[in-house]
Structure 1
Amino acid sequence: MSDRTAFPQRAVAQLLGSNGPIHAVSYSASPGTYILTGSADRSIRLYNPQPPTPPPAPSHITRPTASALPTAAALPVGRLIQTYAAHGYEVLSLAVAADNARFASAGGDRAVFLWDVATAQTTRRFGGTQHGHTGRVNCVAFGGADDSLVVSGGLDTTVRVWDARSGGGKPVQVLGEARDAVSAVVVAGAEIVTGSVDGRVRSYDVRMGRATTDVLGASVTSLCLARDAKTVLVGTLDSKVRLMDRANGACLKTYADAGWRNEELRVQSVLGGKERFVLAGDEMTSPAAAAAAAGSGGSVEVPATPSGAANEGRIWAWDLLTGKLVARLAVPWGAGGSESRKRVVGRDGKEKERKNVVSCIAWKEGGFGDQFCVGGTSGAVTVFGEG
Structure 2
Amino acid sequence: MQIIDSFQDSVMSVCLTKTEIIGGSVDGTVRTFDIRVGRELSDDLGQPVNCISMSNDGNCILASCLDSTLRLLDRSTGELLQEYKGHICKSFKTDCCLTNSDAYVTGGSEDGYIYFWDLVDASVVAKFKAHSLVVTSVSYHPKDDAMISSSVDGIIRVWKK
What is the Cα deviation at residue 226 of structure 1? Answer: 1.4
What residue in structure 2 maps to residue 381 of structure 1? 156
Q: Distance in 1 between matches of 2:152 and 2:4?
A: 32
For the pair 1:357 / 2:134, whether they are aligned, the reply is yes
Percent of pairs with identical residues: 30
Q: Distance in 2 between matches of 1:275 and 1:369?
A: 13
TM-score (norm 1): 0.41
1:1-387 equivalent positions in 2, closer than 5 A? 172-257=1-86, 260-284=87-111, 313-332=112-131, 355-365=132-142, 368-386=143-161
TM-score (norm 2): 0.95
Amino acid in structure 1 at the alignment position of 2:78: G
Q: Distance in 2 between matches of 1:228 and 1:383?
A: 24
CA contact (8 A) 2:55 2:97 kept: no
Q: Distance in 1 between matches of 2:47 and 2:135?
A: 20
CA contact (8 A) 2:133 2:151 kept: yes
Alignment length (residue pairs): 161
* SS of corresponding position for 2:3: strand
Q: Distance in 1 between matches of 2:134 and 2:88?
A: 12
What residue in structure 2 maps to residue 106 of structure 1? none
What residue in structure 2 maps to residue 9 of structure 1? none
Q: CA RMSD in A?
A: 1.1
Deviations 1:263-317 (A, max 9, x none): 1111111111411111010112xxxxxxxxxxxxxxxxxxxxxxxxxxxx21111
Amino acid in structure 1 at the alignment position of 2:49: V
Deviations 1:355-383 (A, max 9, x none): 51111111112xx4210010111211111
* SS of corresponding position for 2:110: coil
CA contact (8 A) 1:191 1:204 kept: yes
Task: List runs of 5+ in structure 2 lacking aligned partners.
Answer: none
Instruction: Give runs of ≥4 in structure 1 deviating > 6 Å.
Output: none
Q: Distance in 2 between matches of 1:184 and 1:377?
A: 18
Instruction: Name the structure, 1 or 2, with higher relative contact order (CA <8 Å, separation 6+).
Output: 1
CA contact (8 A) 1:220 1:235 kept: yes
CA contact (8 A) 1:274 1:369 kept: no
Task: List runs of 5+ in structure 1 lacking aligned partners.
Answer: 1-171, 285-312, 333-354
